[in-house]
Amino acid sequence: MPRHACRTLPLVLWLAALAGAGESPPADHRSDAWLNVRDCGASGSVFETTAAATAGSPQITVEQAGDFQVGQAVMVSKCNPHFERCILKPPDNPYSTAPLGDAAELRGYDGSGGSWLVFLAEVDSVDPLTFRWSDDMARTWKGEKVPITFDWQPLSSGVEIKFKKQDWQPGHMVVFQARDLLVSKIEKIEGNVLTLADAASRTVQDAVVRHCDTDALQAAVSRALREKRNVFIPAGHYRLTRGVSVANPAGLVLEGASSGETVLDISEGTGSCVSLALGTEVTVRNLRMVGHTGLGDGPGWHSFRTSSGKACWPVGLKPCSAMHIRDTERVLIENCHASKMNCEAFYCQGNSRSGTSEPKTYTKSLTYLRCSATNCDGNGFNNNDLAENTSVLHCRIVDVGGCTWEGASRFVRFIGNYVRNSGTVAMGNIGSRAEHLEQLGSGQHLVADNVFEGRTFYNRRPGGYIVRATCGATQVIVRNNLFVNYNSCAVEIIPGGDTRHLPTSNCTIAGNIMDMTAVGEDSRPRTAIHVGSSDVIVSGNQVYTRGPFDKEVTGIRLTEPAVNLIVHDNLLRNCGTGLTSDAVWSAVGEMVDPTTFVAGRGNVPMERRRSHCYRGWNLAWFRGGKPDGSSIVESFDPETFRFQLKEPREMKLDDRFEIFPPAANWLIHDNTVTGCLQPVVLGGHGSGTSLFRNNLIERGGATAAAQALAVIGQFKLINNHILGFDEGNGGTPAKP
C-alpha cells in the first residue's frame, strides 16, 4: 500500500457517502417551498484523496477520482503558497480591516513552518524606527525592536517583508496570512486526472484534495432568497472556506437533516458558517458547525496592548464562528451545535434603541434553543450590542475558553442551560455612560434554572465568577440555579461604575443551591455570593460544602458603598467565612482646588445622573496606609466625575479614600450560619440603618471557630441567636 494511502477514504465509505448524496429529503422538504442544496451542486462529501501537482499546470493526478464531478469546487493543499487577508491597521484602530495596499511588500513563503500562518508586524518605536513581529497570532514575539531598513527583512518560513517609506507610527500593524491552499473548480475529469480552473504554483507529490461547498451553498441560499423558498441541507459534511451569507431574509428557514449528520466545516476558512444581515425573520436549525481552534489551541481569549496603547484581540486575526447576526428582526437558532470556534460561537451585533429613539432595523427577538458550544477557544454566546429579547434556552456550554454568555443587551433570558469548565455568564460591560441608558436601561437579565458544574474557566485560567453582572447592567435576577462541586466563585453583582460605565443596580439573587465542594482538584479561594451594588436582595440561597468546613470558601460577601441591601433566609454551612462585609476604595487622581478632586484608580462607583450623587455622604481619608481624617461630600458631578467637599482639605495625589452614607439601609435578617470557621465578620463602616437581626449562628462542626460574630463597623445587633460559643471562645461580639 502506498505510504499516503492512509489519507484516502476507504472505497466503501465514500461510496456510502455518495449513495447518501442521492437520498431524497423527507416528504415535508420536497415541496416547491424547499430548495435542496444538492440541486445547486453541493456535495456534502467527506471524500478526500492525495494528489500530485505541478507548478504552472492546472492538472492534478489523484490517487482516486472518488465522487468528484465536473463543476464542483475543490481545495488542494500544499500546492499554492500565497498571502491573503493582508491588512494595515492604523495606530488608533486595531480592529481596522483596511487593505495593506503598497504600504509593505511580501514575498518568499515556503510553507516550512506550516500550511497556515498568521503574521503580525507592528511598529514599536519611531526613534529609531523599529518593529516587532509574530507568526503565531501574538502568542510570542519572535523579534522586538528590529530596525526597519526599508529593504527586504526576513521573518520566518521564508517570508520577507519590505516596508515602504512613509509616516510610520507606533501601533501601525501589518497583518497577513501565509497559506498554501488552492481553491478551484473542476473543469474536466479524465481517469485520475482532474483539470482545474486554476494552476498550482508549487510542485508537490502529497497534496490532499477535498470537496469545497462554499459557492454551492451560497448559490442555494441566494436562489432561495430570490425565489422566497426555504433551504434544506441533507446529511453530509460541507467544507467551507468562507461563510454563507443570508441577506435581507423574509421568513427563510435554513434547515439541516439532523444536527449530528449535517456538518458545516469552516476549519479551512475564516468568518462565520452562517451570517444573517438585516431582514425580518430567519430560522436556522439542525446543523453542526466546526471551526479550526479548540480550547487551548489558539492565543486565548484575551487582548494584547499595542505600541499605541490600544487593546488588540489576536483571535480576530484568524476568526471563525458558527453564527453571526446583524439587525435581523426575529431569529430562531434551534438544535445547532458549534465546536472549535475561536471567536464567539454565536454572535449578534447591530443597531439598538436609544431611549425613545428606535432605529429602522434592529434585532427584536433572538432565541437559541437546544444549541451547544463545546471545545471552543472563544466565547460561547455573545450579544455585543443592545439587541432585545435574546433567550438562551436549554443549551450546553462545555470547555469554552471565553465567556459562556456575554451580553450588554436588553431583556435576556438565560434559562435551563448546562455549563461546565467555561467562562463567565457576563452581564453588562455596556461601554457607555450615555444618558439614554438611564431612560430605558440596559443589561436586563433573567438567569434561572441552570446547572453550573465544576469550575469557571476563562482565558486558560480556572477561577473567577461564573455569573457576574457589572458595568451598567440593571434589573438582573439570578434564581433557582444549581452549582455542583463548584470550585470557583459563583455569583457576583458589583457596580463597575467608572468613567466608561454606569454602575449596576437593582438585582435579586434568590433560591440558588450552591454546593461549593472541591472535587478532583485542590480547593481554591472562592466566594459563593458577592454583592457590591445598590438595591439588591439576597434571599433563600443555600451555600455549603460537603464534609468539614472548607477554609477557602466564603458564603456571602457584601461591599460598601452599596445601599439598600436586604439579605435574608439564607443557609450558610461549612464555609471558611459565612457572611462578611467590607468596603472599596479609590485614590485621588486629579486635584482641582482644595475642595474639588477627581478620582483615579480604585473601585468607588461613578454614580448615575439620577442618583444620590453622594450628597451628604461621609468620606474617610487614608495616607500611608493609615486613617487621615474625614470629609463630607457636598456633591458629585456624573459628567465631569468631580467630587466637591463641604470643607477644604489639603489633598495629595494618590491619597486613598472610602465613601459611605449616613444611612446605608442594610437589613441582614433570619439567616442561618452553621459549621463555619468565621461565621460572621461585619467590616466596613456601617451606618445607623445597618441592621443585623434574628440570625442564627451555630458552631456546628467548626470546633476551631474562635468567635461567632466580629463587628468592626456601625451595625445594630438585634435578637440574634448564638449557639455553641462560650465566652472563652469569643461568644461576646467585638464592639463597633
Q: What is the pLDDT of residues 375-389, one digit of tens each?
A: 999 999 999 888 899
Query: Same domain for 403 and 529?
Result: yes
Say which residue the cell 442594610 belongs to. 666
Examine the domain organization and report whether 101 and 48 are in the same domain: no
Domain boundary residue, one of 500, 533, 550:
550
Return all residues near 556 (Cβ < 8 A) that are at least 6 apart: 527, 528, 529, 530, 531, 538, 541, 543, 567, 570, 572, 578, 579, 580
Q: What CA–CA distances, in Å, run from 481 to 371, 413, 467, 512?
A: 19, 13, 10, 5
pLDDT value of residue 343: 94
Q: Are residues 407 and 524 in the same domain?
A: yes
Same domain, yes or no: 185 and 324: no
- Domain boundary pick from 525, 550, 575: 550
Which residues, 6+ apart, have CB-to-CB distance to 410 below 8 Å?
352, 353, 386, 387, 388, 389, 440, 441, 442, 443, 444
Q: Average pLDDT in the 633-655 region?
A: 96
Burial label for 499, CB within 10 Å (0-12, 13-18, 19+), is exposed
**575 in any annotated domain:** no
Residue 629 domain-assigned?
Answer: no
β-sheet bridge partners, residue 76:
182, 209
Do 413 and 507 reside in the same domain of the chain? Answer: yes
In this structure, are 92 and 233 located in the same domain?
A: no
Domain count, the chain: 3
Q: Give me 580's grid cell.
A: 462578611
Above 90 in pLDDT, residue 261?
yes
Q: Is residue 118 part of a domain?
A: yes
Answer yes or no: do 222 and 196 share one domain.
no
CATH number, domain with residue 208:
2.40.30.180
The alpha-helical segments, DSSP class H, found in 209-332 are 214-227
Task: Based on the fold, state whether residues 282 and 391 are members of the same structural domain.
Answer: yes
Average pLDDT over residues 349-375: 94
Question: In the 8-state DSSP scheme, what is residue 19?
Answer: H
**Are 351 and 365 within one domain?**
yes
Q: Is the dihedral of CA 289, 291, 296, 302 positive or negative?
A: negative
Let me know if residue 580 belongs to a domain: no
pLDDT band at 29 (very low <50, low <70, confident <90, very high): confident
pTM for this model (two decimals): 0.93
Query: Which amino acid makes up residue 562?
Result: A
Give the tens place of pLDDT for each residue, 423-476.
999 999 888 999 999 999 999 999 999 999 999 999 888 999 999 999 999 999
Residue 440 lies inside a defined structural domain of this protein? yes
Verify that 307 and 453 share a domain, yes or no. yes
Judgement on whether residues 137 and 240 belong to the same structural domain of the protein: no
Is 163 in the same domain as 74?
no
Q: Is the pLDDT of residue 735 over 80?
A: no
Q: In this model, does residue 3 exceed pLDDT 50? A: no
The range of the structural domain enclosing residue 531 comes to 214-550
Answer whether residue 736 is part of any domain: no
List the end-to-end C-alpha distance of the chain, in Å, as a whole number: 85
